[in-house]
Amino acid sequence: MTVLLVGDSNLARLYYELPDLVPQAFGADVECRAAGGAWSGSLRQQIGDRAASDYKAVVVSIGSSDSHTPYGSSPAAFRENLSRELESGGRWIALLPRDLVRALDPSETDEVNTRIRTFSGILAELVKASGGIALDVGAITGTLALAAYDDDGIHLTRGAYEKLVPEIANAIKAVAR
C-alpha cells in the first residue's frame, strides 16, 4: 500500500532532495503532496478527494509555516484545519516541528518558536486522539544540536533526516498493524 506525505517543506525536502532515504523511511510506494511553504489550510488541497483510509499511512509535517507572522494562522484555525482532515480517518503519523535557529523576516525567532511549540502540542494532541503517532523531531534530532539545521536555520540537514528516517519507518510499521 501507498504512504501519503502531506504538509510542508520538511517532508518535501526529504522526498525530493534525499531520494535515497525515501524507501528506508516510507517503503517503495510513496505519494508526495507535501510542498514548501504549506500551512495547515493547505492540507485540504493536498489531500483533495483522496481517502486517507486508503493509504497504509499518512505522514504529515505541518506547523512551521503557520507559526510565522504576519501570514501565519491562529491556534484555533490550525486546530480546525487539522481536525477536518483527521476526521476522514486513516492512519496518521505527525512529525512535530522543532524550534528554529532563525525565523524568516519579518518574524522574530523567539515568537515563532513559541508558536511552533503551541502548534506542535495541538498536532500531537489531535493525531494521538485519532489513534496516530506523533514523532518529536526536536527530541529525535536533538543530539545533533545546531548540526541538525541547514544553513538557513530552518530546515533539517541530511544528518537530521538520517536520525528521523528509522523513527518514521517504525511508526509506519506500528500504525499499519
Distances (CA, A) of 53 to 15, 31, 92, 107, 109: 22, 14, 9, 37, 37
Provide the pLDDT confidence category of residue 141 given band limits of 50, 70 and 90: very high
pLDDT > 70 fraction of the chain, expressed in percent and rounded: 100
> Which residue from 165, 172, 49, 67 is spatially nearest to 122, judged by alpha carbons?
67
* Mean per-residue pLDDT of the chain: 96
**Residue 105, Cβ neighbours under 10 Å: how many?**
7
Q: Is pTM, for the whole model, over 0.85?
A: yes
Report which DSSP code applies to 50. -
Question: What's the confidence (pLDDT) of residue 105?
Answer: 82
54-104 residue pLDDT tens: 999 999 999 999 998 777 899 999 999 999 999 999 999 999 999 999 998
In the chain, domain spans? 3-176
CATH T-level fold of 3-176: Rossmann fold (3.40.50)
Whether the predicted pLDDT of 163 surpasses 90: yes
